[in-house]
Amino acid sequence: MDDVLRTLQELSRAWREGRFAELGKFFDADIVMKGPGLKELARGREALVRSYAEFMAQSKIVEYAESEHAAHTWGDAAAVSYNWTMAYEQNGQTKREAGQDMFVFVRRDTRWIAILRVMLF
């Protein structure tokens, strides 16, 4: 279970540090991102990485925190959920948001790869 939590921490650090070329290694080629109401927001590794890059291109993160991580594993599958809070500057305004994320991972060889991200606000 520690391996999947470590993977999530590395993934989170990569997007916040703007390492988008590295970010793709955490996602399956066919990953799906769902948002509120389980609406599909992105499909595929390139689209998901692009969504992070576009957000960071227009935003400067002022504060970011994750809490209440919960990981569950079933053989070569795992789900990790957590709460997050964020303050960021965009277009001269500071915005604050909070929500929950869940990633579903599968183990490929020795690595955990995300196949689903669900974002709830």
Q: What long-range pairs does 110-113 form, CB within 8 A, spacing at least 24?
A: 111/7, 112/3, 112/4, 112/7, 112/78, 113/26, 113/27, 113/28
Please name which of 121, 115, 117, 55 lies closest in space to residue 89, comparing C-alpha atoms. Answer: 55
* pLDDT tens column, 13-68: 999 999 999 999 999 999 999 999 999 999 999 999 999 999 999 999 999 999 99
Specify the CATH number for 2-120; select among 3.30.70.100, 3.10.450.50, 3.40.50.1820, 2.60.40.10: 3.10.450.50
- pTM comes to 0.94
